[in-house]
Amino acid sequence: MYYKIKIEDTVRIPPRRFDEDRIKVAIETLNETYNGRLDKNLGLFICVNEIEELGEGKLIMGDGASYHNVVFNSIFFKPEQQEIIDGEVIEIAEFGAFVRIGPMDGLVHVSQVTDDYITYDAKRGALLAKESNKSLDEGDLVRTRTVAISLKDNSVKDTKIGLTMRQNNLGKFEWIEDAKRKSKKA
């Protein structure tokens, strides 16, 4: 889920950029400062959306830059428990499928792909269902539900997002469409 959050901070504008538009420089500087930061409560910082207030600059002895109090709106991405989210399978492993959900990745464990028995095809790099003949490959578009979230401050690498595709209207888009067609015929 994406959130718009208001933040108050101080932005440093270096002297070499005094002749440029202050708002534009402040947005660029804030984006450089916050880009990729992860906060356990807010989620992953995406970008500065707009600046609401940019205070008058103050100088600090020994530094030629100006410091401005700033109030800005930013966009954060934070997955929520039980959230339904579409994504793309980016990697298949013996233990499951990694799915790109917005700017983060989640894992669908093999036990959460389908109710069917799943095997891993190493040559093809795919997960195969034994009875239903369903397959999951890299590049497939899927609908998942978030079942577990572990956000670690300042580290997207240590973040763990558990996903499932085992319920109705979840899974590979083709599986969902097939299920809809079958239910209309019944």
pLDDT score of 19? 95
Q: What is the pTM of this model?
A: 0.84
Residue 6 confidence (pLDDT) above 90: yes
CATH code for 83-185? 2.40.50.140
Give pLDDT tens digits for 126-141: 999 999 889 999 999 9
Same fold yes or no, 2-77 and 83-185: no
Beta-strand relationship, 104-109 and 155-164: parallel
Residue 36's pLDDT band, with cuts at 50, 70 and 90, is confident
Would you kindly state where each structural domain of the chain is located, as residue ranges?
2-77, 83-185
CA 73 from centroid of its chain's CA atoms: 18
Alpha-carbon distance 31 to 88, whole Å?
A: 26
pLDDT of residue 153: 66
Kindly report, residue by residue over 40-65, the tens digit of the pLDDT. 889 999 999 999 999 999 998 889 89
CATH number for the domain whose boundaries are 2-77: 3.30.1490.120
